[in-house]
Homo-oligomer: A and B are copies of this chain.
Amino acid sequence: MSAVLEKGILTVDHLETIKNIVGEQYVFADEESLRNYGHDETEHLLYLPEVVVKPRTTEEISQIMKLCNEYRIPVTPRGAGTGLSGGALPHLGGVLISMERLNSILHIDERNLQVTTEPGVITEVLQNAVKEKGLFYPPDPSSRGSCFIGGNIAENSGGPKAVKYGVVKDYVLNLEIVLPTGEIIWTGANVLKNSTGYNLTQLVVGSEGTLGIVTKIVLKLIPHPAHDLLMLVPFASLEKASEAVSAIFRAGFNPSAMELVEIDALKIVSEMVDSHAVPVSDDIAAHLIIEVDGNNIDQLMSEIEAIANLLMNYEAGEVFFADDAQQKAELWKLRRRTAEAVKIAGYTIEEDTVVPRAELPTLIRGVKDLGRKYNFKAVCYGHAGDGNLHVRIKKEGTENSIGDEEMNNALRALFELVYSLGGTISGEHGIGLIQKSYMDIVFEEANLRLMRGIKKVFDPNNILNAGKIFDAA
């Protein structure tokens, strides 16, 4: 079914037209720019676009799309380039559209608890802006200090808070998008409930920039909880830690974060940021980072204590409660910088597995078994409360999964295990370029035919982020 894009050629005339649309100073074709925008955080992959364009408005993007659609020029939209599945990689060359100048928060609607924003706003900036009004936008990937909210929409991102508050899709009410044809539409309405035709909003969320370019976003907000409490709990065994996770939920607790970090990962990140905040000893295999939040501090205290007591049944070590904002920040810094640290340490290949929560121990055992079989080292960490385990892989002589046959076999075995446990191959990072060859493990051909069909409805000439998620029909 795979088809090569009948790729048009970007001519000097096209470049001139693009310069007229966005202004010459926002069009870049120098080597350094092309290299800067030729990679994201995915492995060590690099693909140069032919030109980098930085439009400011929806209308400019619409005009660029019309041009590229007419001349069949590949277009790759890009947020902050923090993605981990290669969604922003311009692997077909063509025009790379950076969304960095669409970076205004347009309206915080305190009457209706909504925010309308452009996609190039950094997620943490958005969170802080609404927090000043007492409001909360929970989904925050580890990269929240640098990623764009638009990229979060593209990948349907999660983050630590997802376990209690849900992921990006649970907050997106309405999107303005530019279709590959250049048409501009709103996908829905600014309402909390909507049964009006097919849910184009939810279809675009997580579609990895293949169906349209998101130019405005309306998000639901909630009141910001007044308090949170955080604790770190060491375990002598990774499996015991992961068993404890599902026990907490079965007991009826509702933590606002439930993170698992294997000790090897923690050692690496502690060293990188020169932190001694967390115990790393030989009798510790992994930690759980557990947060509760709410408005009643007494209730939170008793809740977190009850959780700590429950954990003693799972051979937990001495619990460390973060006493103040600084200690909390230190702990979160360690967790949030884990991916970066282990990547620098050579764990360049990351898989974003997700299984039903109670299957985590089986998955973790399986990862270690596969490592022995396929000769790789793996460190595991992630959003254990959601069953979402990031598996970081280090293999001598292999930086990238693409093009390495043994690595591909190993990943195929990993994803087959995930699927056999009722899970799937991406929880929050998307499929992009690097996981697409494994889609057949979790989907029937009919599913893929439907997805390709939908792509074609939105993008008849297959110009927008083509070859991501799947090869087009």
Contacts and interface: CB of A to CB of B under 8 A. Distances in A.
Q: How large is the interface on A (under 10, 10 to 19, 20 to 34, 35 or more residues)?
A: 35 or more
Work out how many copies of this chain go into the complex.
2
A451 B190 CA distance: 19
Given A156-B195, A222-B254, A453-B458, 16 more contacts: A109-B356, A112-B358, A112-B387, A179-B446, A183-B444, A185-B444, A191-B422, A191-B423, A192-B354, A193-B354, A193-B383, A193-B388, A198-B451, A198-B469, A199-B205, A200-B447
Contacts of A38: none
Contact of A446 (B185, B202, B439): B185
B114 A424 contact: no
Interface in A113-156: 113-114, 134, 155-156
A179 B190 CA distance: 31
Interface string A423-439: 11111111100000001
A424 B424 CA distance: 34
A472 to B, nearest CB: 13
A193 B170 contact: no
User: Which 6 A/B pairs are nearest by Cβ-Cβ distance?
Assistant: A453-B457, A202-B202, A189-B424, A111-B358, A223-B252, A193-B427
Residue with the highest number of chain B CB atoms closer than 10 Å, among A158, A197, A354, A451 = A197
Given A223-B252, A444-B185, A431 B195 contact: yes
Contacts of A469: 197-198
Contact of A250 (B111, B170, B457): B111
Interface in A283-307: 295-296, 299
A259 interface: no
Interface of A: 109-114, 134, 155-158, 162-163, 166-167, 169-170, 179, 181, 183, 185-200, 202-203, 205-207, 211, 222-223, 246, 249-250, 252, 254, 295-296, 299, 352, 354-359, 383, 386-388, 419, 422-431, 439, 442-444, 446-448, 450-451, 453-458, 469-470
